[in-house]
Structure 1
Amino acid sequence: MSNPNWFSWYSFPFFAPLSGAVAQDIETNVGAQLDDDVAKKLSVTERFDALSDAVEELDDKLATLAKALGQTPTLETFGEKSGQTTPMRRLRNMVDAVNKIKDRHRRDADLEAKRALSRLKTVDPARYSEFIREYEEGGR
C-alpha cells in the first residue's frame, strides 16, 4: 500500500502524555512582572534617592521636634548601643557610597567630554567653533 497511514485503521488510538496539542495560558511570576514594570518607570537609583531623602527629612523633623521639647535624640542616635550601628547610620553610609559613585561618574563624563572636545578642536577646528556656538545658544 502506498498510503503512509494504512496502519492507523488497524491500531488502537493511543495518546502518550503531553503528545497532543496543548493550549494553556501559563501565569508568570506576578512579583517579577511587578518588579519589571517598576524598573521601567523608576531606576533603582531614583527609588533609593527618594527613600533616603524621605528618611533624611524625617530625621530633620525629628531633630526639630526634639529641640522644641528640649531633647536631643535623632534617628541616627535613637536606639544606639555601644558598638552597634543604627539603621540610620547604615543608610547614611549607603548614601555616602552612592554619592561617591555618582561623583566618580560625573568626573568621568566631564573628562570624556573634555577629551572629545579637544579631539574635535584638533581634527576639525571649524566644527569645534560651530559646536561651541550651538552649545552657548542652548541648541543642538
Structure 2
Amino acid sequence: MLQDDESHIRELGLRRVLKARKEFKRKKVREFQLPNLKIDASNCYDLIDWSNEKITEPPMTMKYSDAEISSLISSGDKLFEIEKYPCHTQAAEWCVKLVTEASPSVCGPEERDGFIRTRIKARQDIPVFDTKS
C-alpha cells in the first residue's frame, strides 16, 4: 500500500502506520503472525479485515518519525526509497538449509530454535570432520 500508484491508497497505508504506532508499543521483538485473509477481496488493501486484526508497524517505516510520515500524507508524495536487502546470499541459503533440516526433526518453534542453535554451536566447536591427521 505504501508504494501504490494511487495517492489515496498510499495515504491510507501511511495513516494505518501511524495508527499502529499509537496502539502497539514495542517492548520486545514481535513474532510475526499471519493475519486472516479475505480470499474474496477485490483489492489488495481489502485482503485484511483491518478492524479485527492486530496491526503492527512494518519494519521498513520504523526509522521515520511521525512528522515525516505526516508530511508524506499531506503532500501525497510517494514513500521514501525502499532499502534493498540481500536475500539470496550464501548465508541466507545456509540458514534455509538449517531450518529445512530442523523442521522434520523437532516440533514447535522453541524446539526448532534449540535444534538450530545446537547445530551452529557444534559446527563452531568442531569445524572440520574429515582430516587425515
Pairwise same-fold verdict (TM > 0.5): no
Q: Which has the higher contact order (CA 8 A, sep 6+)?
A: 2
More helix by proportion, 1 or 2? Answer: 1
Max Rg structure: 1
Q: TM-score, normalised by structure 1?
A: 0.21
Q: TM-score, normalised by structure 2?
A: 0.22
